[in-house]
Amino acid sequence: MAKISVKDLNLYYGDFQALNNIDLKIEEKKVTALIGPSGCGKSTFLRTLNRMNDLIDHVKTEGCLCLEDQDIYDGDVDVVALRRRVGMVFQKPNPFPKSIYENVAYGPKRYGMKDKKQLDEIVERSLKEAALWEEVKDRLNKSALGLSGGQQQRLCIARALAMKPEVLLMDEPTSALDPIATAKIEELIMNLKENYTIVIVTHSMQQAARISDNTAFFLMGDLIETDKTQKLFTTPRDKRTEDYITGRFG
Amino acid sequence: MRSQYINELKDLKVKLLKMGAMVQDIIEVSVQALAKQDLMMAKRVYKLDDDIDVLELEIEEECMRLIALQQPMAKDLRTIGTIMKIITDLERMGDHAVNIAKVTLEIGDEPLIKPLIDIPRMARLTEDMVKKSLDAFMAEDIELAEEVAHDDDKVDAIYEAIYKELIEMMIENPKLVSQSIRLLFIGRYLERIADHTTNIGERVIYMVTGERIEIN
């Protein structure tokens, strides 16, 4: 089932068109990987899914982008509420300079939750879901900045999960991490898809191949091809996809 | 533009062709040895088979190395996977040639019960099939790959004829049973070699199209 349906999506940075007529359905509770060379529009596309591009000047978005049956570019959409449903994790771990506990509790508190017991529960659940609980349960009040890079990234995932999003967007979440931390995040992503719809931008085709169910290949603002990951990496239909994934591109 | 990797893939294909040429050669030598009852020649088949086995391992290791170090995708991956399957087929063809040599040595200098016509014909056909299947691989030619399957029908027909002829000879003269059975085995080995070439044809079709089909 499609969690997000994108139709005829065009995006402009001023006069420059960065996305051209994108049609894509993102399946619920699956991992969708977006791949393509730098500047192909994959990160721009990712950011349209929770309207992060609204924060950039002179961006114009056209077309239909539905989260279930709601067009998220409708004028009356509450963007803050949207980002609650569609959480995001970035390339570089960006924990707040606060305690581990406060990082995870930050969102729920901002939304007015005060009950200590409820907050404790959310922090524990989120850290467990992010596979970080066992490593930090005895030092929840220590600064998040004392964690390793991989732990910080899992903390950022826990922070996103604390808001119980339906969709989790990840923009190259492991590109700043070593292979062991990367493997932990990948394992985590594969477990999270039981409950969440995940869209990940990655520069590593091997990563896309390992963890995603579906893959979409972008090139110069066009969505060239999308298919089941196994199909796309063994028998792509489009010559451009073939050239890119076999390294003959450019 | 991973030029070194692309060259390595090319080299790998060339090695596969070399293995194919060695297999054509071993089929030729094994059947020649039988026809001429040249026992030294039959013994040489064993050596040729050892060389084929060495090359098979070398190609397999090269495939593993490319998979581990270059993470081939899409057609490259299908090509390497195809090569790994083809070398198994080629290696088995070599083994069958050894079986033919073994029978030749068993017959020794005992006079042949009939002039050999069909067996050398079968051998030539199967050698051609080996060549054709690998030409199809190199040229990524699906039609040529399918042609191998048609050739296999011809080989099967010759084998059937040999079978009938030898059965008749055995019924007429029980003294010929022993050598008849040996010759029948040789027909059978050649028939198996031809079957392996149709496997190669199927693999080539998969490599080119990504589709699995059974051509024979």
Rounded to two decimals, the ipTM of the complex is 0.72
The answer to the question of residue B191 being in a domain is yes
Q: Judge whether A219 and A37 are in contact, CB under 8 Å.
A: yes
The predicted model scores a pTM of: 0.83
Task: Tell me if A233 and B5 make a contact (CB, 8 A cut-off).
Answer: no
Q: Judge whether B123 and B190 are in contact, CB under 8 Å.
A: yes
Rounded distance, CA A10 to CA B43, Å?
Answer: 73
Rounded distance, CA B28 to CA B40, Å?
Answer: 15
* Cα B166 to chain centroid, rounded: 24
State the pLDDT confidence band at B216, using cuts at 50, 70 and 90. low
Q: What share of chain B has pLDDT > 90, as a percent?
A: 91
Q: Judge whether A145 and A95 are in contact, CB under 8 Å.
A: yes
Mean pLDDT (chain B) is: 95
The answer to the question of residue B216 being in a domain is no
- B1 contact residues in A (CB cutoff 8 A): 247-250
Nearest CA in chain B to A245: B73
The answer to the question of residue B215 being in a domain is no
The answer to the question of residue B137 being in a domain is yes
Nearest CA in chain A to B74: A234
- Rounded to a whole number of angstroms, the distance from the CA of A209 to the nearest CA of chain B is 10
The answer to the question of residue B214 being in a domain is no
Mean pLDDT of all residues in B51-68: 96
Mean pLDDT (chain A) is: 95
Question: The domain containing residue B138 runs over which residues?
Answer: 3-209
Total domains present in chain B: 1
State the pLDDT confidence band at A250, using cuts at 50, 70 and 90. low
Q: What share of chain B has pLDDT > 70, as a percent?
A: 99
The answer to the question of residue B20 being in a domain is yes
Which residue ranges form the domains of chain A, and what is each CATH number? 2-245 (3.40.50.300)
The CATH number linked to B7 is: 1.20.58.220
